[in-house]
């Protein structure tokens, strides 16, 4: 607000002296009454109304009366001070920080301070969130749906045991493996396998468990307490795991109209795997082409003439997998011609036939940790896609092999 000139104040003082009424004086000057009042208050502050009590905008602070012998007033002091302003209101964006009181001898309130501060939680939190989501800028684009897809096909992408966050050292285990290798290899294999896959209208990506090597920063398997060789930056590992999975989903979205994402907790990552599922469901919440299923130990799905199930493989033998599916899915079992069960955990390709169920284990893209290297396990590494036909069951499969460490 611009400050008033002395001239404006003087005019207000003169008009008030002449008309002896604020209303008339304001009218005479052609000012709204509130404006006139403000001019008059400023005039009073500047001493233009003299010092007779009580000036506009002032209030009596103190009166001292000096009496003579017969009780008459000899002299009188009247002290005025600026009137209080409007009722105090906390400005927006500020919150009450505290009140300090000035009290008299009896503890009665005389005056005080109302202290406010910036409502710091809000701007800081927003700033932090903005900074965090800055990393996702441009990544959250909606992948356009493919133009032509085969509605009778379902592409199943089993991803078994990538053990993201595992650390192994070539001189000890025969191959180096770390967060960067795991992430890059997973993305390379996924982009090749998605490119090779048939143009199925639907896809199911099944994380068969042990997506992460370590469940938390204790760096042991939660149940058996086996010591793990890990990349120590746990949060970085968590984040990399989410990002890699998101990229795979986005690749699948470019090829298939609908993508279902299944996360099965492994023995290495029962909670970390659930957190992964949660992060993914938050990210794809508004994308109708993506469905993230609730993480559970067992997963079943019927596609036309095929009933299939999945588990990590640490809790059930192949025979029990087949039997669990028969019991849990009685109706679909009876109505379907093809029965298939997928699992991971053993880090190798293996096919059992139990009754008419093909119980199949999938190899991993991960290299061996010290435990596996020392145990003599030597299986090939690969990523596969299996395409099911609505009527005819398994229709085709493609495979991306990772060469053995000595041939890379």
345 is a contact residue toward Mn ion (CB under 5 A): yes
Pair of tokens at residue 163: 């053990």
C-beta closer to Mn ion: residue 248 or 311: 311
Please name the residue that has the structure tokens 């012998």. 69
% helix, strand, coil for the chain, step of 5: 30, 30, 40
Region near Mn ion per CB under 5 A, out of 1-9, 34-42, 65-73, 266-274:
266-274
Q: Output the CA–CA distances (angstroms, integers) from residue 404 to 53, 64, 176, 185, 262, in the order listed.
A: 101, 103, 12, 13, 29
Residue nearest to Mn ion (CB): 345
Angstrom distance (rounded) from CA 21 to CA 38: 14
What are 27's two structure tokens?
A: 């009218």
207 binds Mn ion (CB under 5 A): no
How many residues sit close enough to Mn ion to count as binding (CB under 5 A)?
4
CB of 223 to Mn ion, least distance (A): 11
Q: What are phi and psi of 309, to 5 degrees?
A: -135, 170
Instruction: Please state, in angstroms and rounded to a whole number, the distance separating the CA atoms of residues 174 and 169.
Output: 7
Question: In sequence order, what are the residues at sequence separation of 6 or more whose Cβ sits closer than 8 angstroms to the Cβ of residue 236?
Answer: 179
Is residue 76 within 8 Å of residue 64, measured between CB atoms? yes
178, 198, 202, 210: residue in contact with Mn ion (rule CB under 5 A): 210
Burial letters for 295-326: b for 16+ Cβ neighbours within 10 Å, e otherwise? beebbbbebbebbbbbbbbbebebeebbebbb
Q: Minimal distance in Å, beta carbon 339 to Mn ion? A: 24
CA distance 77 to 120: 48
Stretch that binds Mn ion, among 50-58, 121-129, 259-267, 362-370 (CB under 5 A): 259-267
Which region, judged by CB under 5 A, interacts with Mn ion, from 152-160, 228-236, 265-273, 399-407?
265-273
Shortest distance (Å) from residue 175 CB to Mn ion: 18
- Using CB under 5 A as the binding rule, whether residue 339 contacts Mn ion is answered as no
**Residue 132 buriedness (CB in 10 A; 0-12 / 13-18 / 19+):** exposed
Contact call for residue 213 and Mn ion (CB under 5 A): no
CB of 163 to Mn ion, least distance (A): 8
Closest CA to 307 of 247, 356, 351, 264: 356
**Does residue 269 interact with Mn ion by CB under 5 A?**
no
Residues 294-313 binding Mn ion (CB under 5 A) are none
Q: Which residues pair with residue 114 across a beta bridge?
A: 99
Q: How far is the CB of 236 from Mn ion (least distance, A)?
A: 22
d(C-alpha 346, C-alpha 267), whole Å: 11
Q: Which CB atom, from 215 or from 267, has the smaller least distance to Mn ion?
A: 267
Q: Which stretch binds Mn ion (CB under 5 A): 106-114, 136-144, 251-259, 260-268?
A: 260-268
Q: How far is the CB of 250 from Mn ion (least distance, A)?
A: 26
Least distance from C-beta 208 to Mn ion, angstroms?
Answer: 9
DSSP SS3 for 35 = helix
User: Any contact of residue 231 with Mn ion (CB under 5 A)?
Assistant: no
Residue from 267, 329, 364, 384 binding Mn ion (CB under 5 A): 267
Of 45 and 352, nearer to Mn ion (C-beta) is 352
Q: Which stretch binds Mn ion (CB under 5 A): 76-84, 142-150, 205-213, 365-373?
A: 205-213
Nearer to Mn ion, 84 or 224 (CB): 224
Q: Does 266 bind Mn ion (CB under 5 A)?
A: yes
39 lies in the binding site for Mn ion (CB under 5 A):
no
CB of 402 to Mn ion, least distance (A): 19
Residues that bind Mn ion (CB under 5 A): 210, 266-267, 345
């Amino acid at each position: 607000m611009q400050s008033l000139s002395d001239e404006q104040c003087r005019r207000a003082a003169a008009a008030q002296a002449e008309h002896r009424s604020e209303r008339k004086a304001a009218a005479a000057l052609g000012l709204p009454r509130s404006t006139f009042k403000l001019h008059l208050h400023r005039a009073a502050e500047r001493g233009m109304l003299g010092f007779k009590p009580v000036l506009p905008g002032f209030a009596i602070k103190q009166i001292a009366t000096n009496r003579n012998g017969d009780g008459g007033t000899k002299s009188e002091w009247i002290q005025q001070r600026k009137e209080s302003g409007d009722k105090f209101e906390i400005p927006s964006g500020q919150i009450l920080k505290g009140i300090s009181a000035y009290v008299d001898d009896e503890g009665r309130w005389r005056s005080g301070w109302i202290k406010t501060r910036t409502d710091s939680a809000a701007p800081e939190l927003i700033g932090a969130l903005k900074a965090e989501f800055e990393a996702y800028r441009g990544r959250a684009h909606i992948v356009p749906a493919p133009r032509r897809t085969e509605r009778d096909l379902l592409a199943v992408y089993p991803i078994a045991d990538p053990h993201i966050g595992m650390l192994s050292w070539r001189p000890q285990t025969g191959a180096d493996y770390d967060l960067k290798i795991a992430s890059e290899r997973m993305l390379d294999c996924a982009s090749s396998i998605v490119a090779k896959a048939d143009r199925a209208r639907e896809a199911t990506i099944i994380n068969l468990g042990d997506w992460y090597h370590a469940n938390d920063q204790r760096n042991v398997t939660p149940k058996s307490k086996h010591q793990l060789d890990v990349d120590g930056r746990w949060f970085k590992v968590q984040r990399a795991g989410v990002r890699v999975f998101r990229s795979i989903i986005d690749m699948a979205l470019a090829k298939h109209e609908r993508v279902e994402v299944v996360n099965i907790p492994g023995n290495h990552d029962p909670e970390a795997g659930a957190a992964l599922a949660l992060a993914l469901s938050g990210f794809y919440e508004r994308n109708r082409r993506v469905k993230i299923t609730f993480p559970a130990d067992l997963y079943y799905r019927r596609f036309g003439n095929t009933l299939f199930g999945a588990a990590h493989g640490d809790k059930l033998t192949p025979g029990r997998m087949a039997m669990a599916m028969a019991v849990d899915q009685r109706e679909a079992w009876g109505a379907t011609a093809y029965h298939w069960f997928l699992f991971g955990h053993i880090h190798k390709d293996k096919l059992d036939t139990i009754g008419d169920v093909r119980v199949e284990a999938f190899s991993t893209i991960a290299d061996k940790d010290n435990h596996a290297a020392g145990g003599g396990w030597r299986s090939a590494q690969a990523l596969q896609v299996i395409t099911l036909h609505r009527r005819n069951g398994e229709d085709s499969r493609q495979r991306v092999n990772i060469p053995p460490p000595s041939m890379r």
